Chains A and B, each alone.
Chain A
């Protein structure tokens, strides 16, 4: 069997839909293409509380659908023929769960929303035996809701649609829009005007709806019906009443749909689908083309001016951050040095004070570790303070460059406490016992001699007498005391000098270290932001080039979109011709 002529057109449209990112349209077309031949699917669509359920029940003369205030399922219910009543819930993953027809509504309600795809119901009705499937859909409402989407989704494989609107009010704008959408996708549409039993003015409403529909170019008949009258007629078997319910006419319309040869209706459905998809796609492409044109609306000079302004701005920012960085770093250098000097000066003061009073001989063991600790602490504090300042500078520079840019990781090194080094113990001489004796002897010699001579001459005593002996002892004591004081002062001077020199050493070493670290930060920040600035200016340059080259590119894009639109228009045309073969006059694509 050769492929029918519509298949080629449909496939081409399908490809176009996919290329332009309208998967939803592609999916609908695919479902049209792959729909099983045989069987007629008639969908019942409408807004809430219009009487869809009553209508379906009255068509079948059986209470299948939930009516009134009972909750209606949020998924389509497909009602087909079966020898025994049966209902099947079809889940998202096509799993099938058979349930009893009476308990159907409860079972649906018990399942989480969105877990079901559709419900299939089989009833033994002669009407359905020829392969007719009636589809009751969820009410159309909020255009973004899943319910509405599920209802409109039914259009993909419906052969015919019964739109339901009640006779209490004429068609609302939303209902008219729905009718237009349905008619675009589905070749056979009828409007069932329900509840005519309670509306005295239903004839006027029907007339108004007919006019509204024909004015909007929607060829759909309006059939006034009353489910209540039909029910009453069924109860009493009153044929005349049944005729008044309007249902015989509706049933004969449904029979017409069923009687249509399958081959022709497939072709027609495909043709209509292609036309609808092509029209929607053209709409999408047109919007895109408009956006492109809108871009083009801003002329090249304006864009160039804009780019120029950006470049100027960048230059200004460059000077600003560079000045800021060099100023701040210079400040930090002098501040850090001053801080360290200030800290060491305090230490020296303490050293002086210590050795003015204390004997290094006694206090050095304690003093040495103290000096070490204090120096380490001072250096570390100075370092961490400098590091904080450096961090702050980095932020300030980043801000002056533009807040959206990140700053580099500074990695300001911690002070290396090892470098402080142990203070060297100065050479301190203790006053040993032998030395003391020698000094004492040396001192006593003068005393003994002096007083020995005096007493010898005046009193005629011997050179060594008690008086000269006493004087010798006194003189010895005095000399020892003098000598030990002198020695202590010398020790103090040596200790002071050693400690001060050590502090000076540490100061020199660390102020150099700190300066190096700060210079390192300066270099890092400069490199980072220079690189950023370069990147930005390059980007601006590229933008400029793009602007200059852009007009050409835009024109190319517009031309391509135009070509696509034309191709779709020709597909639309061809589908129209196919539709004509299948017995339906085409309508032109609105220009």
Chain B
């Protein structure tokens, strides 16, 4: 795929040699094909972009290593994918942030956005179940709101809490553990507000300043949640950190970025290049540029990755008739858990190639049956066709 795009760009480059502006844009796109995937983090002021970028940064996993996070990219920057932050999932806010005028190709292959309900800990006046409520809100929005349905996911994340949980040391754990040791009834009145938490009358020897820094790092909600977690068994710094990361929604966001963006880096970079090419073709039409436009169209029609990503989002967002185990299997075959044949078939990474091949044949056969059942609505059959195509693609590696 990358080769095709490189050829397309090279041809376009020779066509636009005389226009410095177009040539510059194309050269940038061409060079970017060699660079790591760029994920932009955007959102209105005060949504916590930098906090989230910091929380996502320096992750010690392979999946996110070859990926450049760009905090609030200035307009005109090439980004392959976008994490869009919102404070609330209000229609006004969503409509204002979503881009409108884009090329046909970009719309057809819009698999480059993840929406984040940032500051999820503020949902529902910061009660202890705030994160759960936020998660439900996000899921509902993804399923039902047409403004959200075009994205690869809507994820509730408590950015501040996540950042605090990522970079959090033994000393802080000791402090929290000491607070958790105080009887709940006695502590409760000091956890009502930030002011009461930093009240000089707070029991124990911890200074006001330490308490203030603690509450500014984790938020009052974070402190409350950490104390509850320590009391219910997260009794070490590692356990608490992992649990906080999980609950903050950062884990889900990281998995989505890894599965939908990092695993498809080549496809997304190719897409960015083609979108750029299309803008150039539209801005400066040339006598022979329609031939290039036709090739772009052909590229869009044959690129299977985008259809896979689109269908993964549709299945997960509950916009298809698939559910339960078949849905799980379809998503896996489509490459949501990784695009290697073993990962698509749910086998061990070092599985016997013969076993992989047999499983692949089996999957093709079953899904082809699904794709051709006349009693299913056309949309469902079309979805099954995409799955078949994915399964056939992995068999092609054995040919």
Give A residues with C-beta under 8 Å from B: 48-49, 51, 54, 67-69, 141-142, 168-169, 195-202, 226-229, 232, 236, 238, 241, 244
CA distance A22 to B346 in the complex (A): 69
Q: Could you tell me the distance in whole angstroms from the C-beta of A225 to the nearest C-beta in chain B?
A: 11
- Chain B residues contacting A51 (CB-CB under 8 Å) are 125
- Chain A residues contacting B119 (CB-CB under 8 Å) are 168
CA distance A241 to B191 in the complex (A): 12
Q: Contact: B137 with A198, CB < 8 Å?
A: no
Among B174-202, those with CB < 8 Å from A are: 189, 192-196, 198
Name which residue of chain A comes closest to B192, CB basis.
Answer: A232
Contact pattern, B 206-224, Cβ under 8 Å of A = 1, otherwise 0: 0000001001100111000
Mostly helix, strand, loop or mixed at chain B's interface? helix
Q: Which of A69, A169, A227, A241 contacts B189 (CB 8 A)?
A: A241
| B203 on interface, CB distance cutoff 8 Å | no
| B90 on interface, CB distance cutoff 8 Å | yes
Q: Contact: B137 with A69, CB < 8 Å?
A: yes
CA distance A81 to B158 in the complex (A): 41
Name which residue of chain A comes closest to B215, CB basis.
Answer: A200
CA distance A209 to B119 in the complex (A): 22
Q: Contact: B220 with A49, CB < 8 Å?
A: no
- Chain A residues contacting B193 (CB-CB under 8 Å) are 196-198, 226, 228-229, 244
- Chain A residues contacting B92 (CB-CB under 8 Å) are 48, 141-142
| B256 on interface, CB distance cutoff 8 Å | no
Q: Contact: B192 with A69, CB < 8 Å?
A: no
Q: Contact: B122 with A168, CB < 8 Å?
A: yes
- Chain B residues contacting A198 (CB-CB under 8 Å) are 122, 126, 193-194, 219-221
- Chain B residues contacting A236 (CB-CB under 8 Å) are 189
Q: Contact: A68 with B122, CB < 8 Å?
A: no
> Given the known A-B contacts A200-B212, A202-B194, A244-B193, are A49 and B90 also in contact in the complex, defined by CB atoms under 8 Å?
yes
Q: Which of B133, B195, B198, B219 contacts A69 (CB 8 A)?
A: B133
Name which residue of chain A comes closest to B195, CB basis.
Answer: A244
Give B residues with C-beta under 8 Å from A: 45-46, 87-88, 90, 92, 119, 122-126, 133, 137, 189, 192-196, 198, 212, 215-216, 219-221
CA distance A227 to B194 in the complex (A): 13
- Chain B residues contacting A196 (CB-CB under 8 Å) are 193-195
CA distance A168 to B126 in the complex (A): 12
Name which residue of chain B comes closest to A199, CB basis.
Answer: B194
Q: Which of A49, A168, A229 contacts B46 (CB 8 A)?
A: A168
CA distance A229 to B220 in the complex (A): 13
Q: Contact: A48 with B125, CB < 8 Å?
A: no
Q: Which of B45, B123, B126, B196 contacts A244 (CB 8 A)?
A: B196
CA distance A154 to B192 in the complex (A): 34
- Chain A residues contacting B122 (CB-CB under 8 Å) are 168, 195, 198
Q: Contact: B125 with A54, CB < 8 Å?
A: yes
- Chain B residues contacting A229 (CB-CB under 8 Å) are 192-193, 196
- Chain A residues contacting B221 (CB-CB under 8 Å) are 198
- Chain A residues contacting B133 (CB-CB under 8 Å) are 68-69
Q: Contact: B192 with A197, CB < 8 Å?
A: yes
CA distance A358 to B169 in the complex (A): 126
Q: Contact: A227 with B125, CB < 8 Å?
A: yes
Mostly helix, strand, loop or mixed at chain A's interface? loop
- Chain A residues contacting B126 (CB-CB under 8 Å) are 195, 197-198, 228
CA distance A169 to B196 in the complex (A): 21
- Chain B residues contacting A49 (CB-CB under 8 Å) are 87-88, 90
- Chain B residues contacting A54 (CB-CB under 8 Å) are 125
Q: Contact: A228 with B215, CB < 8 Å?
A: no
Known: A49-B87, A202-B194. 8 other contacts (CB 8 A): A49-B88, A49-B90, A168-B122, A169-B45, A198-B194, A232-B192, A244-B193, A244-B195
CA distance A236 to B220 in the complex (A): 21
Q: Contact: B189 with A197, CB < 8 Å?
A: no
- Chain A residues contacting B189 (CB-CB under 8 Å) are 232, 236, 238, 241
Q: Contact: A197 with B137, CB < 8 Å?
A: no
Name which residue of chain B comes closest to A142, CB basis.
Answer: B92
Q: Across chains A and B, which 6 residue pairs bring their CB atoms closest together, nearest first?
A: A197-B193, A169-B46, A68-B124, A141-B92, A200-B194, A49-B88
CA distance A229 to B125 in the complex (A): 11
Q: Which of B45, B123, B125 contacts A228 (CB 8 A)?
A: B125
Q: Contact: B125 with A67, CB < 8 Å?
A: yes
Name which residue of chain A comes closest to B126, CB basis.
Answer: A198
Q: Contact: B125 with A68, CB < 8 Å?
A: yes
Name which residue of chain A comes closest to B220, CB basis.
Answer: A198
Q: Could you tell me the distance in whole angstroms from the C-beta of A124 to the nearest C-beta in chain B?
A: 26
Q: Which of B45, B88, B195, B198 contacts A48 (CB 8 A)?
A: B88
A–B complex contacts, Cβ < 8 Å, 12 sampled: A48-B90, A69-B123, A69-B124, A169-B46, A198-B221, A200-B198, A200-B216, A227-B125, A228-B125, A232-B189, A232-B192, A244-B193
Name which residue of chain A comes closest to B45, CB basis.
Answer: A169
CA distance A24 to B90 in the complex (A): 29
Name which residue of chain A comes closest to B199, CB basis.
Answer: A244
Q: Could you tell me the distance in whole angstroms from the C-beta of A208 to the nearest C-beta in chain B?
A: 13
CA distance A513 to B140 in the complex (A): 81
> Given the known A-B contacts A196-B193, A199-B194, are A141 and B90 also in contact in the complex, defined by CB atoms under 8 Å?
yes
Name which residue of chain B comes closest to A48, CB basis.
Answer: B90
CA distance A244 to B212 in the complex (A): 18
- Chain A residues contacting B194 (CB-CB under 8 Å) are 196-200, 202
CA distance A140 to B123 in the complex (A): 19
Q: Could you tell me the distance in whole angstroms from the C-beta of B215 to the nearest C-beta in chain A?
A: 5
Name which residue of chain A comes closest to B134, CB basis.
Answer: A69
CA distance A389 to B195 in the complex (A): 94
- Chain A residues contacting B196 (CB-CB under 8 Å) are 229, 241, 244
Q: Which of B88, B123, B212, B220 contacts A197 (CB 8 A)?
A: B220
Q: Could you tell me the distance in whole angstroms from the C-beta of B159 to the nearest C-beta in chain A?
A: 12
CA distance A195 to B119 in the complex (A): 14
- Chain A residues contacting B192 (CB-CB under 8 Å) are 197, 228-229, 232, 241
- Chain B residues contacting A69 (CB-CB under 8 Å) are 123-124, 133, 137
Q: Could you tell me the distance in whole angstroms from the C-beta of A419 to the nearest C-beta in chain B?
A: 62
- Chain B residues contacting A197 (CB-CB under 8 Å) are 126, 192-195, 220
Name which residue of chain B comes closest to A166, CB basis.
Answer: B122
- Chain A residues contacting B125 (CB-CB under 8 Å) are 51, 54, 67-68, 195, 227-228
CA distance A290 to B55 in the complex (A): 54
Name which residue of chain A comes closest to B137, CB basis.
Answer: A69
- Chain B residues contacting A228 (CB-CB under 8 Å) are 125-126, 192-193
CA distance A23 to B299 in the complex (A): 57
- Chain B residues contacting A195 (CB-CB under 8 Å) are 122, 125-126
- Chain B residues contacting A48 (CB-CB under 8 Å) are 88, 90, 92
CA distance A81 to B232 in the complex (A): 46
- Chain A residues contacting B198 (CB-CB under 8 Å) are 200
CA distance A228 to B221 in the complex (A): 13
- Chain A residues contacting B137 (CB-CB under 8 Å) are 69
Q: Could you tell me the distance in whole angstroms from the C-beta of A249 to the nearest C-beta in chain B?
A: 15
CA distance A199 to B160 in the complex (A): 12
Name which residue of chain A comes closest to B87, CB basis.
Answer: A49
From A197, A200, A228, name the one whose CB has the most chain B CB atoms within 10 angstroms: A200
CA distance A241 to B215 in the complex (A): 19
CA distance A260 to B217 in the complex (A): 46
CA distance A229 to B188 in the complex (A): 12
CA distance A281 to B90 in the complex (A): 34
CA distance A168 to B189 in the complex (A): 22
- Chain B residues contacting A199 (CB-CB under 8 Å) are 194
CA distance A54 to B123 in the complex (A): 13
CA distance A28 to B124 in the complex (A): 36
Q: Could you tell me the distance in whole angstroms from the C-beta of A363 to the nearest C-beta in chain B?
A: 70
Q: Could you tell me the distance in whole angstroms from the C-beta of A169 to the nearest C-beta in chain B?
A: 4
- Chain A residues contacting B88 (CB-CB under 8 Å) are 48-49
CA distance A198 to B123 in the complex (A): 11
Name which residue of chain A comes closest to B95, CB basis.
Answer: A142
CA distance A195 to B123 in the complex (A): 11
- Chain B residues contacting A141 (CB-CB under 8 Å) are 90, 92
CA distance A196 to B193 in the complex (A): 8
- Chain A residues contacting B87 (CB-CB under 8 Å) are 49
- Chain A residues contacting B90 (CB-CB under 8 Å) are 48-49, 141
